[in-house]
Amino acid sequence: MLEVGTRAINHRTGSEFEILEMGPSGFVIHCTLQNISPIADYAPHYHVGWSEEFKILSGEAIYTVEGKEQRLKEGDTVITPDRKKHIHPLQFCVKRVAYDNFWRCASRASPRAAFAKFCR
């Protein structure tokens, strides 16, 4: 069951994910990336009914929105609106990075269903 405190580890990369908050309009995931991997975990994608915010807590990563790369470092925040094609920072970690990922619902979609889909 997905709930606050649920943790997941990508055993291929060592990356760790933990649900920090979950409510009726969104959720927050804390991510710690252990290794720099040249292989992307996700293809460029977008979300319908959800926006995402990434707050870099430590390290450096490259984040791509609508084909434009941004180099992110500690203290940086980037917001991806609903329906904007993007690639998560977890794919192109420059230095070991930790970030919080805020998902906000723009519709009546279920945060649990969205996170379950994210975990597949």
Q: Is the pLDDT of residue 34 over 80?
A: no
pTM: 0.77
Q: Tell me what pLDDT residue 61 has.
A: 83
The rounded mean pLDDT for the chain is 79
Structure tokens at 89: 């920072």
The Cα–Cα gap between 43 and 97 comes to: 20
Q: Which domains does the chain have, with CATH numbers?
A: 7-109 (2.60.120.10)
Q: Tell me what pLDDT residue 120 has.
A: 47
pLDDT tens digits for range 42-79: 678 888 888 889 899 998 888 888 989 888 899 999 88
pLDDT tens digits for range 97-116: 888 888 887 665 555 565 55
User: Are the beta carbons of 56 and 74 closer than 8 angstroms?
Assistant: yes
Residue 102's nearest CA partner among 70, 63, 56 is 56
**72 Cβ neighbours under 8 A, 6+ residues apart:** 54, 56, 60, 61, 62, 63, 78, 89
